[in-house]
Amino acid sequence: MATSKVTYLGNLRTSNEHLKSGNTFITDAPTDNQGKGEAFSPTDTVATGLANCMLTTMGIKAQSLEVDLTGSTATVTKTMASNPRRISKIEIEMHLPGGISEKNQKILEHTAKTCPVEYSLHPEIERVVIFIWG
């Protein structure tokens, strides 16, 4: 079964539907590449997807550790390169709750750094991940 359906709406915009749930979002080309920049760009979704995956896999591991990560946030900075145009760097700053043992922090950090999106990205994309606890 297909995962999603992408429709080109014109004017460098796409509509994206998750087929199982019906949830949707749009993308726009960025302003530095002829677009409006009124929504996530396709490369924004890739960089943001890494943070989504890290927090989700950490959440799964946290359940088994009986740790609550509710309210954790990740700020994502994507850097582009040219020739060819591509993502060259993804920086993620994670803000996580306090009161979690150092052992569990290390387990959760390792879990984040071994998530499926991390393993799916091109190895030449530089990744910088900072974990801030408490």
Cα distance between residue 49 and residue 53, in whole Å? 6
Domain co-membership, 28 together with 47: no
- 21-43 pLDDT tens trace: 999 999 999 999 999 999 999 99
Domain co-membership, 20 together with 46: no
Supply the pLDDT for residue 106.
Answer: 98
Domain co-membership, 27 together with 58: no
Range of the domain at 103: 42-133
What is each CA distance from 17 to 1, 20, 38, in whole angstroms? 14, 9, 18
* In contact, 26 and 42? CB cutoff 8 Å: no
- Output the pTM of the full model: 0.95
Per the prediction, the chain carries an average pLDDT of 97
Domain co-membership, 22 together with 47: no
- 56-99 pLDDT tens trace: 999 999 999 999 999 999 999 999 999 999 999 999 999 999 99
Supply the pLDDT for residue 73.
Answer: 98
Portion of the chain with pLDDT greater than 70, in percent: 100
Domain co-membership, 86 together with 21: no
Report the number of distinct structural domains present in the chain: 2
Supply the pLDDT for residue 6.
Answer: 98
What are the residues whose beta carbons fall under 8 Å from the beta carbon of 53, sequence distance 6 or more? 115, 116, 117, 118
Name the residue with tokens 């490369």: 43
